[in-house]
Amino acid sequence: MAGYNRLHIPALFCSDFFAAGFTLVPNLILKYSSRLNLCSNDVLVLLACFYFQQQGKNDLRLKDFACLINVPEKSIKASVDAMAARGLFIISGNTYDLSGLFEKITDLWAEEKVQAIQKARLEAAPATEPAATPEKMQSLQLHDLLQTFEQEFGRGLSQIECATIRSWHEDKGCSEPVILEALKRAVLRGVLNLTYTERILDQWSKKNLRTVQEVISYEEQFLSSRATSKSRKQTDREARIKDKENKYKDLYMS
């Protein structure tokens, strides 16, 4: 310290502080951490992953995480294994692929958008309307359902398409939330037609999945089982990219 003018210490610190850089973390990870069932150790491990990726280090070992975030290797391994089982990680050797995490966040974001649209419609409805009969409520729900499909498809629906959606609701007994959930899967995959959406609903019906929560639970179990199997077999990034692209194809087009 004797060789430095004390007045220069803050300036030197600021220079090194900014030169060391910053680790960028998507805010949606923090926002949805509870819905992703992330504990505090899980969040720390993810922060460490972002740090290493932004430093250009991809060959990672448990001791690297332990040295960075001061958490025992045993605890880090438990977090990594738990997140991999839920499909958030794909681990190949010492490489950590976070594509599963971002897919989950995309699903949560899309679900939130659908709920926001429904809420906006309810708030925009006239407050002085008389109480609706069950028949009128069902008609309004179907009208909103058809409007949602038109908005997502970016075009009007034909009479045949309207009749098809009505049959899902009235004949097959699919609830509006379940139909919207199937539509969300089709939109995320970029397949904007009723055939793919109906195939999803038929698969859910065969598996006796009647509510959105049952669908989500089934998909989490399916993806967890697939991630465990793929992590042992996949050896190159090209295969993982193809697997990501075919996520819902594996589920609903088999």
Q: Which CATH class is domain 131-214?
A: mainly alpha
Confidence of residue 154 (pLDDT cuts 50, 70, 90): confident
Confidence of residue 132 (pLDDT cuts 50, 70, 90): very low
Q: Is the pLDDT of residue 254 over 60?
A: no
Considering the chain, what percentage of its residues have pLDDT values greater than 70? 73
The β-bridge relationship of strands 90-92 and 95-97 is antiparallel
Calculate the alpha carbon distances from 127 to 94, 98, 136, 141, 142 in Å.
59, 46, 16, 17, 20
- Give domain limits for the chain: 27-103, 131-214
- According to the model, what pLDDT value does residue 137 have? 47
From the candidate CATH numbers 1.20.120.1200, 1.10.10.10, 3.40.50.1000, 1.10.10.60, the one assigned to the domain spanning 27-103: 1.10.10.10
Q: Each residue of 56-102: pLDDT tens digit?
A: 888 888 889 988 888 898 999 898 888 888 888 888 888 888 888 88
